[in-house]
Amino acid sequence: MSKFIDPQGMQDAIYNFADNIKHASEIGEKIILNNKYDDIRNIIIVGMGGSAIGGDINKMLLKNDLSVPLIVCRNYFIPKWANNHTLVVVSSYSGGTEETLSAFKDALSKDCQIYGITTGGNLSKRLSSNDLDFTLIPSGLQPRAALAYSFVPMLYLFFHLGLIKIDLKDKLMNSVKLLKSVRDDYIHDNQKNPTWVLSNKIYNTIPIIYGETDNTSIIALRWCNQLSENSKMLAFSNELPEFNHNEIVGWENNPNLIERLSVIWLSDQSDYERISMRQKISNKILDTTVKKQFEISLNGSSRFERLLHLIHFGDWVSLWCAYLHDTDPSPVDKISSLKKELTNQKY
């Protein structure tokens, strides 16, 4: 694969997703809770970017299993209603994310029950100085490529706290088996690889990705993030049924712009039947104005497996789009420039 620009090995990072899930599961099984966690009534996942998406994915995976409400907070402050019955999971891969460190300080002031997930940095120091529990995860990856280490230890935390009662290890290991069975197809640039085929059809468009609220819509967001960071392409997402109450009407004027867009419908057999019906009708309505529409639904013996497969599929699509643009998928220069500018500003 040397014909593609990838000196930092993003392809390897994506290929190793299944292995990372297995390793992250081993880390999660060994979690030791030194502090007492009592009467948890709600959960706030604090993070940004690749660290925050782990919270979204767990919200999606546990939609029918979690015993308390969960929200993901991408901000400098957590909601005012948070209190000593709130579990705040502070997730920062680098340990130095400005917004996350601020939200952590806010959680301390609200007397929340706090747990951290990080590779180290200032976050681990502040957690240690406050005698708070945290999990150290492996460093050396781009945060977006460390997805397994973002969501899997968090799942085990919920399991150890009694917030979920599922066969967690079986679900994860079955997913690992499935992901390993498909990755050797997704790594080749040929017509037998559906991620390569889709990438060739969308890389010179702006993809608009749609999914079901609290289900595949979260994966649509992941696809957008990956296309932005890996492929250096703009991409956008929305969710059904809300899409049917506003955005669907926008696909009418500016036809010269619409012809440069593509639509990707993400679906799963666990989708509510009325949502599936809405998706099919919406596809038909847009067919008069959009030249490129694609429906992606993948195999797997359980919802858990299929949704993780759909995430993995999108990661490969973003990689192939980067290669088709002769773009190195790893650097995020604009993010680095922004952070550099921010460090020069007093906070």
Query: Which tokens belong to 220?
Result: 């649509």
Contact between residue 234 and residue 206 where contact means Cβ atoms under 8 Å apart: yes
C-alpha 239/C-alpha 216 separation (Å) is: 8
DSSP string spanning 259-295? TTEEEEEE--TTS-HHHHHHHHHHHHHHTTT-S-EEE
Q: Which residues contact 276 (CB under 8 A, 6 or more apart)?
A: 267
**Element (DSSP H or E) covering residue 324:** helix 303-324
Tally of residues, the chain: 347
Q: Which amino acid is at 6?
A: D
Query: Which tokens belong to 176?
Result: 């690992």
- Give CA angle at 335 (334, 339), nearest 5°: 115
Told to judge if 105 belongs to the known catalytic residues of this protein, a careful annotator would answer: no
Q: Please pick, among 229, 239, 305, 312, the residue that the annotation labels catalytic.
A: 229
Q: Please pick, among 245, 273, 341, 346, the residue that the annotation labels catalytic.
A: 245
Give the relative orientation of helices 168-186 and 194-202 as an angle to the nearest 10 degrees: 70
Query: Which tokens belong to 214?
Result: 């609290």
Told to judge if 339 belongs to the known catalytic residues of this protein, a careful annotator would answer: yes
- Residue 230: helix, strand or coil by DSSP? coil
Told to judge if 245 belongs to the known catalytic residues of this protein, a careful annotator would answer: yes
Which residues are the active-site residues?
A: 229, 245, 339
